Amino acid sequence: MSDSASIMNMAESHLIHTYNRYPIVLDHGDGVHLYDADGKEYLDFGAGIAVFAFGYNNKEFNDALKDQIDKLVHTSNYFYNEPMAEAARILTSRSGMDKVFFTNSGTEAIEGAVKLAKKYGFMKDGRNDHEIIAMDHSFHGRSMGALAVTGNKHYQEAFGPMIPGIRFAKYNDLESVKALINDKTIAIIMETVQGEGGIYPADPEFIKGVRQLCDERGMLMILDEIQCGLCRTGSLYAFEQYGVVPDVLTTAKALGQGVPVGAFLARGAAAECLVPGDHGSTYGGNPLACVAVVKTFEMIEEKGLIAHVNEIAPYLEEALDELAGHFDCVKERRGKGLMQGIVVDVKPADVIKKALEEGLILFAAGADVIRFVPPLTITREDVDEMKEKLACVLEKI
């Protein structure tokens, strides 16, 4: 077995350097803990960036995947398979959408949603110059279509020109949205809770106002719940808490518990505008990925995950509020459910590095936010342990 230094050197020698990785080689996980190749234990409050809702090494989930591996891992979309059909049935019925297209990632789900909006506009009036309104400080992915609707110039500047017809409004500012609407506008895309942009939940008046504008103007409301969906905010999808329903929904991350799978869903006329030849994916909807989706939804119900999130989230909020009250470098807490962030006036990278030394995994969100997106199965004891470790870090900083 190679030592950690050899593994890291091998990786840096052969991987394109698009990530500044921490000098840790993770080896295995169990529950809410990860272990590196040297045996050190880490309390994980990042969950693979909001992916592992049930934590690591869940036997029930693993067994479902193992059973499917022995049957069929992949075929093609020229044929049907039962896991795909069942995953589609469950996902549409639980989300309130009519139809679904399975992808391999959240970014691909955004790509599909953008294409769907363009085709919807074309079917409506035969024009192909329709525009989409997106939000400042949003993050939807790094492929060209997803990057075009990401409201961060830093991510875009080296890769222009972006696809045309994307205009950016201010998140939670309905008047700024209204000011951009014209006769070419066909869709408004936004995160129900902004993640990478700094953990900003949508204001109720804002998201309801966007829904009304879309209804009045015949535009599609596209909600990106790739990070905030799948029970993380205290409901299956965060939009349920606002009394609105999108026309198009994107989902991924916790959808497959680490198996690469995402989806975009649509309802009404939007669900019917893509036809054979308009879109495709070799691996989208393959049996292994779809078994992961089916098992995820089964476990959400069996384990009462939504109820647990609503029980534990206030305890996490209280712990973070206490840290904010005790340390001057913590300016505020914001978030929804188990998607929380604290604003700090020190470099988040410094906090995260020190936290790793204490055996705590955290991630940043934006330039000044520490993000907390732990497995949804965390307990009060896990929150207490996190709070103790983070307090130790903040004392040192």
Q: Catalytic residues, which ones?
A: 139, 224, 253
CB 225 within 8 A of CB 195: no
First to last CA, the chain: 36
Helix (H, G, I), strand (E, B) or coil at 253: helix
Within 10 A of 177 (CB to CB), how many other CB atoms are there?
22
Place of tokens 């950690």: 4
How do beta strands 339-344 and 200-201 pair? Answer: unpaired
Residues belonging to the chain:
397
Bridge partner list, 99: 266
DSSP letter (8 states) at residue 258: T
User: What is the distance between the alpha carbons of residues 303 and 296, in angstroms, rounded to a whole number?
Assistant: 10
Helix (H, G, I), strand (E, B) or coil at 186: strand
Q: Which of 204, 105, 116, 195 is nearest to 150 (CA)?
A: 195
Partnered with residue 26 across adjacent β-strands are: 36
Q: Residue 76 is encoded by which pair of tokens?
A: 């093609």
Helix, strand, or coil (residue 324): helix
